[in-house]
Amino acid sequence: KNEVEQSPQNLTAQEGEFITINCSYSVGISALHWLQQHPGGGIVSLFMLSSGKKKHGRLIATINIQEKHSSLHITASHPRDSAVYICAVRGDGSARQLTFGSGTQLTVLP
Amino acid sequence: EAGVAQSPRYKIIEKRQSVAFWCNPISGHATLYWYQQILGQGPKLLIQFQNNGVVDDSQLPKDRFSAERLKGVDSTLKIQPAKLEDSAVYLCASSLAGSSYEQYFGPGTRLTVT
């Protein structure tokens, strides 16, 4: 079993829809990251969370430490949101490396 | 502020050939990471440097992969000889000082081994 599981793997939505991407993890963490990867490979950090909820524009990220679960929400989705969204967790041990999920491919149709 | 630079962006080689990738991190960032991202998967850490020292290379296939950061600034990752399963995007990232700081990623090098 992977330490970080994302769902769904692929998601197609119509422009304007509310989108939710889920991330579950099985290890103790010090922080959870949501990343966006566009075609061509570049990765951009969207959020870093250790508790509660963060909002940036149309993006909202939440985390439930007890349930080891996080969600990324996109309100009023737009075709430019089409990308791969990756959840990554930072361990709470001495190493503190990032462990990545396999990503969710989001396609927003006009 | 300039971001993380990588070159080349794309490389196609035949199996058993050698290849090298270059990364220049953000100025002042002490920590540099090399990741391998196979299609459909998340990135996997290959090696982490703190200045010119190796912090973690536990997942680096040392029989064929090598990396160096001699002056604690830019870094090269080499594969010799390449195998078909090495086809992937190789991502370089840097952070200010250690794993607790946000990582900034380069555009990646897409390697195809035929």
The sheet that has A69-74: what strands, in order across it?
A4-7, A19-25, A69-74, A59-64, A52-56
Contact status, residue B95 vs residue B31, Cβ threshold 8 Å: yes
Provide the pLDDT for residue A28. Answer: 87
Of residues A25, A15, A44, the one with CA closest to residue B108: A44
User: Residues of B numbered 25-64 whose beta carbons fall under 8 angstroms of chain A's beta carbons: which are they?
Assistant: 37, 40-45, 48, 56
Residue A1 has pLDDT above 70, yes or no: no
pLDDT digits (tens, 9 = 90+) for B54-75: 999 999 999 999 999 988 899 9
DSSP-derived pairing of the beta strands B65-68 and B10-13: unpaired
Q: Does A100 sit within 8 Å of B44, measured CB to CB? A: yes
User: Which of A42, A88, A96 is opposite residue B108, by nearest beta carbon?
Assistant: A42
Q: Does A101 sit within 8 Å of B42, measured CB to CB? A: yes
Q: Does A100 sit within 8 Å of B107, measured CB to CB? A: no
What is the separation, in whole angstroms, between the first and last Cα of chain B?
37
Give chain A's mean pLDDT.
Answer: 92
Q: Does B42 sit within 8 Å of A100, measured CB to CB? A: yes
Residue B98 has pLDDT above 80, yes or no: no
User: Which of B42, B98, B107 is opposite residue A102, by nearest beta carbon?
Assistant: B42
pLDDT digits (tens, 9 = 90+) for A38-90: 887 689 989 999 999 999 999 999 999 999 999 999 999 999 999 999 999 98
Q: Does B91 sit within 8 Å of A43, measured CB to CB? A: yes
Portion of chain B with pLDDT greater than 70, in percent: 99
A38 vs A23, more confident: A23
pLDDT digits (tens, 9 = 90+) for B13-41: 999 999 999 999 999 999 999 999 999 89
Q: How many other CB atoms sit within 10 Å of the CB of residue B87?
A: 17
Instruction: List CB contacts (< 8 A) between B110 and chain A.
Output: 41
Phi, psi (rounded to 5 degrees) for B42: -80, 165
Nearest CA in chain A to B106: A42
Q: Does B45 sit within 8 Å of A4, measured CB to CB? A: no
Instruction: List CB contacts (< 8 A) between A95 and chain B.
Output: 56, 99
Provide the pLDDT for residue A39. Answer: 82
Provide the pLDDT for residue A70. Answer: 98
SS3 A86: strand
Q: What are the Cα distances from residue A110, in Å, to A14, A58, A80, A85?
A: 6, 17, 10, 19
- Reduce the secondary structure of A4-42 to three states and give it as a string: EEEECCEEEEECCCCEEEEEEECCCEEEEEEEEECCCCC
How long is chain A? 110
